[in-house]
């Protein structure tokens, strides 16, 4: 029996079991999604409740493998956003670049949400704390398109429809994606997508050959509604367009069908169906700049969402050091570090990921 036939058989068994489980767990999952991806009932709140809501909005940000590697320390007029070292990813992210980029994504959501709550949020990296201090000042309340987009944003890992984005919308994306010490490069030509694809395939091939990378990734995949609901973190199969299965079957099938060739083929069709690629490049290879790159990518993602565009990170070209160097040469950015890579385009919505409750990420002082 070939591996694929065995995989097919297991998918059939898994599918039948999943059908029974789905009926029980689907409604629980949907309830959790509805409770997670929502706007606050009110933006006119006393300071302590407003701060809690700002943290909730922050947790809705993109973050590497959905580990949610953040903690928040609240004080009178500021919120300190700190890395949670228990949730780092040593194989894919040995220097914590993605941890700080994820903190930056969370901070950007906080900045956008603060305005709606009548606050101005001013973030700055604090090297003594190794975190980002967000100072809060009173300001006239303002509800922006980017704020409205926060609960609608998602990483959409599927094939898009190939349509291109009108120039006036590209200009809005460009305005959103640049920051202090971080520049965004935008690629919309077919030839450029093919060139970037070669770095994506090189990075993905290296990662699929790396046992530590694959084991780490697998440990964060949640195959069933039950495991996604109990941890409220990680990569839910269904959010990547894969079937929901009992976890033991999911892990078995993954070993059979998750191959370098299959993944490379997926990335080819995903990138070729996209309207373009954004690459975020910081001036200095330091945590403060990694966080700023995260902020820019999150702002870009919110602006894309506000324009009804989908997006997904394709970071393989920047995660494998040897490929990252070649990619930097292709980009013509000298010795600067390309931080993050994102594709965008028009496509369907996929089922959503979950987040841990706010109480789990607020530090008691
Ligand atoms: C720094 C960083 C790196 C990421 N890298 C990838 C990636 O290479 N591939 C991918 O599909 N998603 C990547 N993501 C997206 C996360 O997996 C995603 O944000 C997380 O699973 C939560 O899902 P959501 O964005 O739909 O809320 C990355 C996110 C961040 C912030």
The domain segmentation of the chain, as residue ranges, is 1-41+151-365, 47-150
What does the pLDDT read at residue 183?
A: 98
Rounded to the nearest 5 degrees, what angle is found at the Cα of 258, between the Cα atoms of 257 and 260?
115
β-pairing, 221-222 vs 235-236, is parallel
CA 274/CA 269 separation, integer angstroms: 9
The two structure tokens encoding residue 283:
């001036």
Q: Which residue has the tokens 């999952």?
A: 29
What does the pLDDT read at residue 1?
A: 34
The two structure tokens encoding residue 246:
């009992």
Output the CA 284–ligand 1 centroid distance in Å.
22
Output the CA 48–ligand 1 centroid distance in Å.
30
Output the CA 115–ligand 1 centroid distance in Å.
25
Output the CA 228–ligand 1 centroid distance in Å.
16
Output the CA 4–ligand 1 centroid distance in Å.
28
Pick the CATH number of 47-150 from 3.40.50.1700, 3.40.50.150, 3.40.50.10740, 3.40.109.10: 3.40.109.10
What does the pLDDT read at residue 305?
A: 99
Name the nearest CA neighbour of 96 among 80, 84, 79, 111.
84
Output the CA 13–ligand 1 centroid distance in Å.
30
Query: Which of 56, 60, 64, 311 to probe ligand 1 with, by most ligand atoms within 8 A of CB?
Result: 64
Residues with CB under 6 A from ligand 1: 62-66, 98, 101-102, 105, 154-155, 157, 235, 294, 312-313, 315, 353
The secondary structure of residue 363, as a DSSP letter, is P
Residue nearest ligand 1's atom 21 by CA: 66
Q: Mapped to the 3 state alphabet, what secondary structure does 193-215 carry? A: HHHHHHHHHHHHHHHHCCHHHHH
**Domain spanning 1-41+151-365: CATH superfamily:** NADH Oxidase (3.40.109.10)
Nearest atom in ligand 1 to the alpha carbon of residue 157 is 11
Query: Which of 37, 63, 213 to probe ligand 1 with, by most ligand atoms within 8 A of CB?
Result: 63
Residue nearest ligand 1's atom 19 by CA: 62
What does the pLDDT read at residue 23?
A: 65
Q: How many other CB atoms sit within 10 Å of the CB of residue 293?
A: 27
What does the pLDDT read at residue 16?
A: 52
Output the CA 231–ligand 1 centroid distance in Å.
17
pLDDT tens, residue order, the chain (365 aa):
333 344 444 455 445 555 555 667 888 999 999 999 999 999 999 999 999 999 999 999 999 999 999 999 999 999 999 999 999 999 999 999 999 999 999 999 999 999 999 999 999 999 999 999 999 999 999 999 999 999 999 999 999 999 999 999 999 999 999 999 999 999 999 999 999 999 999 999 999 999 999 999 999 999 999 999 999 999 999 999 888 999 999 998 888 888 999 999 999 999 999 999 999 999 999 999 999 999 999 999 999 999 999 999 999 999 999 999 999 999 999 999 999 999 999 999 999 999 999 999 999 77
What does the pLDDT read at residue 5?
A: 43
**Coil, helix or strand at residue 273:** coil
The secondary structure of residue 155, as a DSSP letter, is B
b/e string for 168-206 if b means 16 or more Cβ within 10 A?
A: ebbebbeebbebeebbbbbbbeeeebeebbebbbbbbbb
């Amino acid at each position: 029996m070939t591996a694929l036939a065995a995989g097919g058989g297991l998918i059939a068994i898994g599918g039948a079991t999943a059908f029974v489980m789905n009926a029980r767990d689907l409604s629980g999952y949907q309830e959790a999604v509805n409770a997670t991806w929502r706007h606050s009932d009110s933006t006119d709140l006393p300071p302590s409740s407003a701060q809690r809501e700002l943290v909730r909005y922050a947790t809705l940000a993109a973050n590497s493998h959905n580990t949610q590697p953040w903690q928040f320390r609240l004080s009178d007029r500021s919120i300190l956003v700190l890395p949670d070292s228990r949730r780092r990813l040593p194989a894919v992210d040995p220097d914590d670049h993605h941890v700080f980029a994820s903190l930056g994504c969370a901070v950007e959501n906080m900045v956008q949400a603060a305005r709606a709550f009548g606050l101005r949020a001013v973030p700055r990296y604090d090297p003594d704390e190794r975190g980002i201090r967000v100072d809060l000042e009173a300001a006239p309340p303002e509800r922006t398109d980017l704020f409205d987009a926060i609960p609608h944003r998602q990483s959409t890992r599927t094939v898009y429809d190939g349509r291109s984005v009108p120039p006036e919308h590209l200009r809005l994306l460009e305005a959103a994606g640049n920051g202090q010490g971080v520049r965004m490069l935008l690629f919309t030509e077919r030839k450029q997508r093919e060139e970037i694809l070669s770095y994506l395939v090189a990075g993905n091939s290296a990662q699929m050959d790396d046992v530590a990378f694959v084991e780490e990734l697998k440990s964060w995949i949640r195959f069933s509604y039950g495991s996604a609901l109990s941890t409220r973190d990680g990569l839910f199969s269904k959010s990547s367009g894969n079937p929901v299965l009992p976890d033991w079957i999911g892990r078995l099938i993954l070993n059979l069908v998750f191959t370098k060739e299959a993944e490379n083929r997926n990335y080819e069709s995903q990138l070729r169906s996209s309207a373009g690629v954004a690459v975020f490049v910081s001036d200095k290879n330091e945590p403060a700049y990694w966080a700023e790159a995260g902020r820019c990518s999150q702002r870009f993602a919110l602006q894309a969402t506000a324009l009804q565009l989908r997006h997904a990170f394709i970071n393989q070209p920047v995660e494998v050091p040897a490929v990252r160097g070649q990619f930097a040469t292709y980009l013509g950015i000298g010795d600067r570090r390309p931080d993050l890579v994102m594709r965008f385009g028009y496509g369907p919505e996929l089922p959503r990921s979950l987040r841990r409750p706010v109480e789990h990420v607020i530090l008691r002082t």
